Amino acid sequence: MAQRTVSVTSEVGLHARPAATFVQTAAKAPYDVTVAKAGGSPVSAKSILSVLALDVRQGESIVISAEGDGAEELLDELAQIASAS
């Protein structure tokens, strides 16, 4: 399983527009993609409600995981979205 730990730098955290872009990107994958606050329980990265419920704020870290063909590239893209300011 591929995994990335990313610090969220957006002023709004992983909310609103960044969350929507994150979920839309994850939803393109034909395999499971999860996201969790560092040390927390993972939720589906394809569910806008689950991602918003994490309440990830600026400066917090998230762990993104995926398994399947192209997982490394997908995680790179999701990490870039989460760390964009």
Catalytic (active-site) positions: 15
Angle between helices 71-83 and 16-27 (to 10 degrees): 170
Say how far apart CA 73 and CA 12 lie, in whole Å: 25
Say how far apart CA 7 and CA 33 lie, in whole Å: 18
